Homo-oligomer: A and B are copies of this chain.
Amino acid sequence: MNTTIPNTHSAVNALEASLSLVNSKLHITGRAGNFEPIDTDYIPPYGDGVGYMPLQLFLISFGACAAGAVLTLLRRMQRNIDAFDMKVSGIRRTEHPTSFSEIAVEYIITSRDVTEEDVLKALALSEQSICPVWAMIKGNVEVKSIITLL
């Protein structure tokens, strides 16, 4: 199966990022590729809340990864996607480490031909082998998928 699925993460086998602290609290700027730098921070009193919390960035990373996998797989099934939106929410542990114990992902797909079975099939493959961010949290975080077809 692997040989038939395009590797949407390209042939780049190493990826890099650089980060710099920019104040005396926890405001950090992150860079990768040639893209607009991303401000990260924590909410008061630890930081000034001027940027994404690392866990918020994680949700976007995970969401974009799952979206890329599901979209690629649905298109390979010759399905038409008119609109694709996601809501991702993570429930954090109350004790350290305050990581996500559970992440809920709602896939909101506008399409004339996508069925719930199609999405379930794409999700199973994405979790199993196509979405690398999902693979890195496997066994540590429970992921729930919600499918909304419009």
Contact A85 B21 (CB under 8 A): yes
Copies in the complex: 2
| Nearest Cβ on chain B to A111's Cβ, whole angstroms | 12
In this complex, the interface size class of chain A, counting residues with CB under 8 Å from chain B, is 35 or more
Contact B89 A16 (CB under 8 A): yes
Interface string of A79-107 (1 = CB under 8 A from B): 00101111111111111111110000000
Report Cα–Cα, A90/B17, bound state, in Å: 9
Other-chain residue from B19, B91, B97, B132 in contact with A97 (beta carbon distance below 8 A): B132
| Nearest Cβ on chain B to A124's Cβ, whole angstroms | 13
Other-chain residue from B5, B87, B98, B135 in contact with A7 (beta carbon distance below 8 A): B98
Contact B86 A19 (CB under 8 A): yes
Is A115 part of the contact surface with B, judged by Cβ < 8 Å? Answer: no
Other-chain residue from B39, B47, B84 in contact with A21 (beta carbon distance below 8 A): B84
| Top 10 closest pairs, chain A to chain B, by CB | A30-B60, A99-B132, A97-B135, A54-B65, A32-B56, A57-B61, A17-B59, A21-B84, A40-B64, A99-B135
